[in-house]
A and B are shown apart, each in its own frame.
Chain A
Amino acid sequence: AQSVTQLDSQVPVFEEAPVELRCNYSSSVSVYLFWYVQYPNQGLQLLLKYLSGSTLVKGINGFEAEFNKSQTSFHLRKPSVHISDTAEYFCAVGRPDSGGYQKVTFGTGTKLQVIP
């Protein structure tokens, strides 16, 4: 079984300040890791993903995340946030299934509020 923990339900941050959204996972097998963003009244959009290789992953909108296997973490970071980054962010873990698809487990989400 796999699980994802996002400890922070809400993160307020001033515009142009850096931000880190925390994500920890547990799994008994190798997994894929994702961050999705959900803007109000919109569907989930993939920000970035880690499948293998370099542990530092760069995504869209200036976000990046680092896979840390020893700490089972995949924290999301951005050096300078904009008002438009206000949204809910979901960390997710996917496990390749024998059926050839990814069974994805999502965290409970972190609401990022950027303050002008």
Chain B
Amino acid sequence: GAGVSQSPRYKVAKRGQDVALRCDPISGHVSLFWYQQALGQGPEFLTYFQNEAQLDKSGLPSDRFFAERPEGSVSTLKIQRTQQEDSAVYLCASSPRENTEAFFGQGTRLTVV
């Protein structure tokens, strides 16, 4: 597709369940970002990849959060043992190279019950 694609669009998880959120960036985009947007808040930075290298993971809230981009294209954000406070929209964005405009996907809305 032409834009950043995220799947699933909606995910309901029971507390304690592991989840995996997928991001397909725009083809050829070098940079990839993950953001977390809680209800009523702005997006908050989680992590950044340049190709397959995870250069910054300072925004990951706990060691239950893990992100990977093994071949420098598709990325997966994994959350282990989900908690209610993990409920949020998770946004993925990609950009063609460093310090250029990032294009956002529609996000995955995660609800932990």
Interface, chain A (partner B; CB < 8 A): 4, 36, 41-46, 49, 90, 92, 96-97, 99-109
B62 within 8 A of A: no
- Interface residue from A43, A46, A103, A109 paired with B42 (Cβ < 8 Å): A109
Between A and B, 21 residue pairs with Cβ closer than 8 Å are: A36-B104, A41-B106, A42-B106, A44-B93, A45-B104, A97-B56, A99-B48, A99-B50, A99-B55, A99-B56, A99-B98, A100-B98, A101-B48, A101-B55, A101-B56, A101-B95, A102-B99, A106-B35, A106-B43, A108-B41, A109-B41
Q: Give the residues from 9 to 58 in chain B that come closer than 8 angstroms, CB to CB, to chain A.
A: 31, 35, 40-45, 48, 50, 55-56
Interface, chain B (partner A; CB < 8 A): 3-4, 31, 35, 40-45, 48, 50, 55-56, 91, 93, 95, 98-99, 101-107
With the chains together, A108 CA to B43 CA distance in Å? 8
Question: Taking CB as reference atom, which chain A residue is nearest B41?
Answer: A108
With the chains together, A96 CA to B4 CA distance in Å? 23
Classify the secondary structure of A's interface with B: strand
- Interface residue from A42, A44, A99, A103 paired with B43 (Cβ < 8 Å): A44
Question: Taking CB as reference atom, which chain A residue is nearest B97?
Answer: A100
Shortest distance from the beta carbon of A38 to any chain B beta carbon, whole Å: 9
Give chain B residues whose Cβ lies under 8 Å from the Cβ of A36: 104
> A101 touching B98 by the CB < 8 A rule?
yes
Closest 6 A/B residue pairs (Cβ) = A106-B42, A100-B98, A43-B104, A44-B104, A43-B106, A99-B55
**Which of A46, A49, A99, A107 lies at the interface centre, i.e. has the most chain B CB atoms within 10 A of its CB?**
A99
Question: Taking CB as reference atom, which chain B residue is nearest A107?
Answer: B42
> B101 touching A96 by the CB < 8 A rule?
no
Question: Taking CB as reference atom, which chain A residue is nearest B31?
Answer: A101
With the chains together, A52 CA to B41 CA distance in Å? 28
Question: Taking CB as reference atom, which chain B residue is nearest A43?
Answer: B104
Shortest distance from the beta carbon of A107 to any chain B beta carbon, whole Å: 5
> A44 touching B91 by the CB < 8 A rule?
yes
Question: Taking CB as reference atom, which chain B residue is nearest A38?
Answer: B104
Shortest distance from the beta carbon of A45 to any chain B beta carbon, whole Å: 7
